[in-house]
Amino acid sequence: MSKPLKISEEAAVQMPMKTVASLIAMVAIGTWAYFGIIETQNKISTTLELMEKDLKENTEFRIKWPRGQLGSLPADSEQFMMIEDLYKTTDKLNKHIESMALNKVNIEFLRKQMDKVLEDIEKLKDQARDKEHRIQNSMAQCLRGKREAERTFSESVTYKCWKGKAKTEIYMGEKSIKAIILD
């Protein structure tokens, strides 16, 4: 049977130096491996905590940003100001267009009135022509013009050929009768 092993502070152990060096190397490698594993575990743990925090902040941002609870970017503020200005400008343009529509109605009314005035002027011209005196070169030419006019024009217009004296004027290269002198 084997003897019991007595270990005390004063117990001496004899080992070859190769074994002692191997044991020291193994303990050093084990310690290095242990601390390497712990360090890797700490890195992974830290990364996981950061990712969880980022995920929480991202979720909060994703929910609150569209609701406008996190404020806005300076570019967004500038865009909102520009959009507001565009709305104001659009409103002004719409009012201007509406006033132009009223102008169109007024223009149409004035156009109709002007057409009526032009029509009345033409009637007055026709009436003035009825009392118009024309200079003819000869009595034969006057009678011929009278016959042609009676066949083509209105019966309300009368034609008379008359030989007499008149006051005349030249206007724009054309001689016309200003007044008839009755003797």
Residues 112-171 have pLDDT tens digits of 999 998 888 877 776 655 556 677 878 888 888 888 877 776 666 677 887 888 888 887
Alpha helices, H only, the chain: 17-67, 74-130, 139-152
| pLDDT score of 110 more than 70 | yes
Q: Which two tokens stand for residue 1?
A: 């049977």
Are residues 52 and 40 part of one domain? yes
Cα separation, 119 vs 112, whole angstroms = 11
Q: Residue 133 — left, alpha, or beta (φ > 0 → left; ψ -120 to 50 → alpha)?
A: beta
Range of the domain at 59: 19-71
Are residues 78 and 47 part of one domain? no
Are residues 58 and 82 part of one domain? no
Number of domains in the chain: 2
Are residues 66 and 87 part of one domain? no
115 found inside a domain: yes
14 found inside a domain: no
Question: Given pLDDT bands bounded at 50, 70 and 90, which one contains residue 32?
Answer: very high
User: How high is the mean pLDDT of the chain?
Assistant: 83
- What residues contact 133, with CB distance under 8 A and at least 6 apart? 166, 177, 180
Please state the pTM of the whole predicted model. Answer: 0.33
